[in-house]
Structure 1
Amino acid sequence: MTDPEGLRAALLRGDVPPEDGLLLWAADAAFETVRPVMTAPRLAVAVSGGSDSLATLVLLSALHPLEAVTVDHGLRPEAAEEAAFVARFCAGRGIAHSTLRWDGRGARGNLMDAARRARFRLIGAWAQARGIGAVALGHTGDDQAETFLMRLAREAGLEGLSGMRESFESAGVLWFRPFLSQTRAELRDHLQRQGIGWIEDPSNANERFDRVKARKALAALAPLGITAGTLSTVVGHLAMAEQSVLCSLEHLVKAHVHVDAGDVVIDAHGFRDAFDPETGRRLLNAALLWVSGAVYPPRAAKVIDVLTTWRTRRDRTLHGCRILVTDDAIRITRELRAVAALRVGFGETWDGWRIEGPEQPGLTLAALGPEGLRQLGEGRRRAVPRASLLASPALWQGETLIAAPVAGWKNGYEARLMRPSFTVSLIRR
């Protein structure tokens, strides 16, 4: 492996070819940006064997000690050999490498999205176990432009059109993209100058996938001057506007939002005074996602309907939640119907909650519901809306209520919310 200090000295002297020097500086600058906020000291690169991720590994490993990780998703017969290719490449360079396996054959719905989420989940758990604080991804300006076109087709709002983030937290790990300002061609040119080959994923030519369609559309738009580079510039402008919205949201959340019994509670007076359609939409989406645990927000038209009628329609359901409005507060709580059939064993997580305390035979977690409220009685209830109590977690032994800590009756048990805190950082997911 290249000596990092010697390479930095060569960069300063100008002894490295300009094209390689720019890529190395980009890699180093990206890592130095995330280093101060890493929760663990070690670095890794997620590598599929394609040109972008392989070049990211080569460039970052020339500057920093790191590990590599590959997810064998099992979706194609070649996947195992591709993971083995990366393992051999890393072994030849003295880079520690791990292969993680996910059986994607049972995935339903959007297969590419399911695979992406599985990669984050698997790599996040692997990184935490190994004391790795940051994982680099090999996305380029081409990916940024393709993502912009796909989100444009879905009528995305500002948060979608402002592009992929250079860094973000997910699955307990900090992720960063060193080469969002570089093109795929630049990374491939670097590999070719180094005499390094890569794997071509056949799915990159399969027009069933939206990303491949976007790639072809981008090529067709080139005569108009619409290229990956120009779209990346547009995304940068939108990202600055996005940052301004996030600042407004941060002020609104800090001043007028709090969490109570697992509900998001918004001060109605502050919301009304600070209200503008975009800020209101973003805050409501974030609250609905946080309370419901859903992956995607509700349809925009339904959110807009809430924003235009919240003063007069004081109780409605949306996205597995109930929205309760009083003169003083807008409360987003869980809808009982969304969790009524959910029952798990003691010690397991129930709708984002865990109840801890003395173990007894036959304990289960389920919604408090009307029967639980009846057994709880008026004297032991918290002063929160009935809808919130109905969908709160309770500990049962058969049909007998043992504890309802969130609702006000602990009986020796504690309830712990397992979700991250509701902050403005969650609003752009």
Structure 2
Amino acid sequence: MTKQADTLLPELRARLPDRLPPRLGVAVSGGGDSVALLLLLHEIAHNEPIRLFAATVNHDLRPEAAAEADQVAELAARLGIPHETLLWQGWDGAGNLQDQARQARYRLLTDWAQRNDIPAIALGHTADDQAETVLMRLGRASGVSGLSGMPYARDHCGVTLLRPMLGITRQSLRDYLLGLGEGWIEDPSNHDQKFDRIKAREALTALGALGISAQSLARVAENLAQAREALALYTQESARKFAKVDRGDVCIDRNGFRLLPTEIQRRLIVGIIAWIAGQGYPPRAAAVEQAMAAVGEGQTLTLAGCLLISHQDKAWFCRELNAVSTATAAPQEVWDNRWVLSGPLTAGAEVRVLGEAGLPQVPEWRALGKPRQTLLSSPAVWSGENLLAAPLADFTNGWTAEFAAYRPEFYSSLLSH
């Protein structure tokens, strides 16, 4: 073990769960950060009952990408670690490249983990990455949650993503690799000034004269993360008082909502949207403020794949019909990343939205006392144009609708934002 490892290993281990899962994934791009992570975790695995699995995402954006993934595979083979290369295909060129690549990377990694019964994946983000994130969010006038940066751990589609190196600098990891005589791959995009992250990296260098460093900004993010957790707890307590879950929708008492501090109102709405529509970037601040006003004033609007309906002294949040109008799944498969419908074996049965065609076929939906729009976007079982069941509208016909196993309970989900 090198002198650098003696320093890095305790810091890394302290940011991992006390009890590691028996199968732990490692995302390895071939860059210095992720190569160092793989080697350090390999050291930890010598002393703890865990087995490592490595994966590399080939975004297929550069001619060298395939060869670089092969280099990672060779390193993993030398260490005796199973490795798989995950290829990103099908990008149509629309949208922000870095954002699209990031979303694809997490999707491919979590799919890989689920296929291989791997409950957690370690990622190679460093204190420098955290500092750059904080600087970029400063430029967007972010609040406490934004400036608290990336969390050390979070759930993504039932897989825990771990970032145990957020307190370790990029340079210290490279010093560790140099001490071992290990090489790494330098991605040329790390010097491309058209990307905001690279601009933030350059700005961070200039800020050194003021005593602002990657480590100091990472500590700021950690301090704000503690404040974020306190606010999240307050939000959860408020939700238990003023919000209830009704068949996958959330109903808020509008009078109670008005009593909450503005920041807690904002967090509650963002948490509801994330729970109903799925994780991802939260809605823009202006859109959240519109939703806050709509709850208070009794208005109806759409927001980030959700529909807000004001009904008497309540505000209902449900899935927006247009967001799920084309979603399909087979019975017992996950529909809209939320629901699993199970029932009698029926040839040709398909899960689709209940919609305008299905609701008139549900005899007693009004007895539920819910706004009509909340039921339109609920899942139903169809055989062609024949409605077989709509469990959330009380037309069960032997069918049930349950949340996907990886979806958190609503109130606990508020602690993860």
Normalising by structure 1, what TM-score?
0.86
Residues in 2 aligned to 1:133 and 1:342: alpha-carbon distance in whole angstroms: 27
* Range that drifts further, 224-233 or 104-113: 104-113
1:243 aligns to what? 229
1:4 aligns to what? none
Shift in CA distance, 299/63, structure 1 to aligned 2, threshold 3 Å: closer
* Range that drifts further, 275-284 or 398-407: 398-407
Contact 2:249 2:317 (C-alpha < 8 Å) held by counterparts? yes
1:265 aligns to what? 251
Q: Is 1:143 matched up with 2:129? A: yes
Residues in 1 aligned to 2:365 and 2:175: alpha-carbon distance in whole angstroms: 72
Contact 1:355 1:414 (C-alpha < 8 Å) held by counterparts? yes
Task: Report how far residue 347 of structure 1 moved.
Answer: 5.5
The correspondence of residues 79-158 of structure 1 with structure 2, limited to 5 A, is 79-103=65-89, 105-106=91-92, 108-158=94-144
SS at match of 1:132: coil
1:62 aligns to what? 43
Task: Report how far residue 276 of structure 1 moved.
Answer: 0.8
SS at match of 1:310: helix
Contact 1:321 1:334 (C-alpha < 8 Å) held by counterparts? yes
Residues in 2 aligned to 1:362 and 1:44: alpha-carbon distance in whole angstroms: 38
SS at match of 1:108: coil
Residues in 1 aligned to 2:385 and 2:117: alpha-carbon distance in whole angstroms: 44
Contact 1:145 1:232 (C-alpha < 8 Å) held by counterparts? yes
1:422 aligns to what? 410
Task: Report how far residue 110 of structure 1 moved.
Answer: 2.1
For residues 83-139 of structure 1, give each alpha carbon's deviation from its aligned partner in whole angstroms, at most 9, with x where no partner exists. 111121222233332222222644631222222222222222333343433322111
* Higher Cα radius of gyration: 1
1:290 aligns to what? 275
Aligned-residue CA RMSD (Å): 2.6
Contiguous gaps of at least 5 residues in structure 2: 47-51
Task: Report how far residue 344 of structure 1 moved.
Answer: 5.3
Shift in CA distance, 425/263, structure 1 to aligned 2, threshold 3 Å: closer
2:242 aligns to what? 256
Task: Report how far residue 257 of structure 1 moved.
Answer: 2.9
1:44 aligns to what? 25
Task: Report how far residue 192 of structure 1 moved.
Answer: 0.8
Residues in 1 aligned to 2:120 and 2:363: alpha-carbon distance in whole angstroms: 49
2:321 aligns to what? 336
Contiguous gaps of at least 5 residues in structure 1: 1-6, 8-15
Contact 1:74 1:105 (C-alpha < 8 Å) held by counterparts? no
For residues 340-386 of structure 1, give each alpha carbon's deviation from its aligned partner in whole angstroms, at most 9, with x where no partner exists. 45455655544333432234444443332334232223478533221
Contact 2:255 2:313 (C-alpha < 8 Å) held by counterparts? yes
AA matched with 1:181: G
AA matched with 2:307: R
Residues in 1 aligned to 2:124 and 2:145: alpha-carbon distance in whole angstroms: 22
SS at match of 1:311: helix
Identical pairs, percent? 46
Contact 1:104 1:115 (C-alpha < 8 Å) held by counterparts? no
1:325 aligns to what? 310
1:177 aligns to what? 163
Residues in 1 aligned to 2:108 and 2:115: alpha-carbon distance in whole angstroms: 11
* Range that drifts further, 414-423 or 20-29: 414-423
Task: Report how far residue 279 of structure 1 moved.
Answer: 1.1
AA matched with 1:186: S
Residues in 2 aligned to 1:248 and 1:86: alpha-carbon distance in whole angstroms: 45
Normalising by structure 2, what TM-score?
0.89
AA matched with 2:176: H
Q: How many residues align?
A: 409
For residues 262-318 of structure 1, give each alpha carbon's deviation from its aligned partner in whole angstroms, at most 9, with x where no partner exists. 211223344334x11111111101212322337333221222133235232243333
Shift in CA distance, 83/104, structure 1 to aligned 2, threshold 3 Å: farther
